[in-house]
Structure 1
Amino acid sequence: MPYGGFDGRVALVTGAAQGIGRAVAQALSGLGATVAATDRAAGPLAETVAALTARTGGGPAAGGVTGYPLDVTDPRAVDATVARVERELGPLDILVQVAGVLRTGAALETTDRDWAEVFAVNTAGVFHVCRAVVPGMAERGAGAVVTVASNAAGIPRAGMSAYAASKAAAVMFTKCLGLEVAARGVRCNAVCPGSTDTPMQRSLWDGPSAPRRVIEGDPAAYRTGIPLGRIAEPADVADAVVYLVSDGARHITMQDVYVDGGATLR
């Protein structure tokens, strides 16, 4: 990375057990940040923390990763976990929100349960965590928040109405929050990945040719392909996140950065 300044900083990463969240935790800890990694999947989270700790050789110290099981849909648990993290690791300087779920299906066939669960994690979860973390940042006069959303937040996707709507809401909440806390030194941005090689993406694949079909697009579903001709790796998204929480982005706030190989033609 061409930028540093993460030594001594404490970061909270939600959805850190796998995929993009794990890549973000790994990138930040590799640059010297102390990372609190959270996820509601306690077993996979423990495995991820063990693997990242083996790489960094640290625990609750600079460059270390500490796990905190957390369901972001539970506001009391969020408040308690944030308080615990700050008590054990120190005041939070960085918040990266990756926790998310996907439910697919036609808009008019989406069940109440699927709609509610998607919004509970992808939108209300973002609200709960920001409400617990950002006041402390504002009081201290500095902080960086990144919400990892989706390029579906900015373009219609057939069969993904609940997911797209929840991510669009999360992006706009992040921008509104950024406007309110900018004068107090807190920056809030969103990163919107496209198709990325994660367990969530692979759950949509139906055979060995699926990655090629993602790259080529699907005119019948009004979906463009990926101009760069590749599916992103989680590290590609993590790099954008790390930039936005770094001092190199100190004059960037209320933005949504698309990391999708040009798939949305933005």
Structure 2
Amino acid sequence: MSNTAVVVGAGRGIGQAIGEDLARACPGDRLILADIDAALVERVAASLQAQGVEAIARHVDITDEKSVQELVDETSDADRVAIAAGVFDSSPSLEVTVADFERILRVNTIGCFDVARRYAAGMAARGGGSIVAVASVAARMPRMRQAVYSASKAALRQSLRVLAMEVAGSGVRVNTVSPGPTDTEMMRQLASDHATVDDLADGSLLAFRPRIPAGRVARGSDVAAAVRFLLSPESSHILLGDIVVDGGELLGM
């Protein structure tokens, strides 16, 4: 295993938690933190550097093929890549615009898939690696006012399964992690049906949202731990997988 890991979408939320988790678990590794918000990811990297971690911040726009390829070229030795970039939208299906649909798909599906396939190509040529992308339980369970977001995550999950089949013979593993409600800035946007993010754990009949049996929403660290496992050699026989981190909201379905 090389000593270089890449986290795309590391400026905040789950992506930041993944970067921080990898830094704690593998303090001697070179950690590339990439995000469209250069200033934000620079602050995350600086915080880790202050702890003695070799954390390097890079700007990337995953909707720009050239930007993605530049990042992949610069980190061509990476054999662990986590993809946590994403955008969220909540609009009634009768009101969502085609432009909004295309914008969300461009980031959550096409952009994330492009990152995965470009890294997978290099890993396949070098004989192996692991890629994990953050999907969502919204890919499995319909969510009120989330037709676009749910579609984008379902498409990402399935497209990466196909990619996983195609590169498995070259030693490359591709998996996803599907969080349920997680206490992040993006989730706070979603919590309009509830007084606070924590109240999402109680469910809502009005929003057709089930109660979370664990009694709380996830923390970024909960999701990061699952990502780290899938990136590690300990998960060497897991591919095309999707680990659900939802506190039991989907009831195991």
Report the counterpart of residue 49 of structure 2 in structure 1.
53
Percent identity between matched residues is: 38
Residues 148-227 of structure 1 correspond to what in structure 2 (within 5 A)?
148-206=134-192, 209-227=195-213
Shift of 1:30: 1.9
Report the counterpart of residue 61 of structure 1 in structure 2.
none
Q: Distance in 2 between matches of 1:259 and 1:129?
A: 23
Q: Distance in 2 between matches of 1:252 and 1:204?
A: 31
Q: Distance in 1 between matches of 2:103 and 2:234?
A: 36
Shift of 1:205: 3.2
Q: Distance in 1 between matches of 2:108 and 2:60?
A: 14
Aligned length: 250
What TM-score comes out, normalization by structure 2 length? 0.94
Q: Is the aligned partner of 1:42 residue 2:38? A: yes
Structure 1 vs Structure 2 CA RMSD: 1.5
Deviations 1:212-260 (A, max 9, x none): 4311111122210111001111000000000011111000000111101
Question: What letter corresponds to residue 64 of structure 2 in structure 1?
Answer: D
Question: What letter corresponds to residue 75 of structure 2 in structure 1?
Answer: V
Structure 1 runs not aligned, ≥5 long? 1-5, 59-63
Ranges of 4+ aligned residues in structure 1 off by more than 4 Å: none
Q: Distance in 2 between matches of 1:206 and 1:243?
A: 33
Q: Secondary structure at the match of 2:191?
A: coil
Equivalent of 2:18 in 15, 24, 28:
24
Shift of 1:206: 4.5
Report the counterpart of residue 264 of structure 1 in structure 2.
250
Deviations 1:19-47 (A, max 9, x none): 11011111112222321111101111111
Question: What letter corresponds to residue 228 of structure 1 in structure 2?
Answer: A
Report the counterpart of residue 96 of structure 2 in structure 1.
110
Question: What letter corresponds to residue 199 of structure 2 in structure 1?
Answer: R
Deviations 1:65-93 (A, max 9, x none): 1111111010111001211233xxxx110
Q: Secondary structure at the match of 2:226?
A: helix
What TM-score comes out, normalization by structure 1 length? 0.90
Report the counterpart of residue 9 of structure 1 in structure 2.
3
**Contact 2:117-2:163 at 8 Å conserved across structures:** no
Q: Distance in 1 between matches of 2:65 and 2:112?
A: 10
Report the counterpart of residue 228 of structure 2 in structure 1.
242
Shift of 1:207: 9.4
Q: Distance in 2 between matches of 1:237 and 1:212?
A: 16
Q: Distance in 2 between matches of 1:111 and 1:136?
A: 37
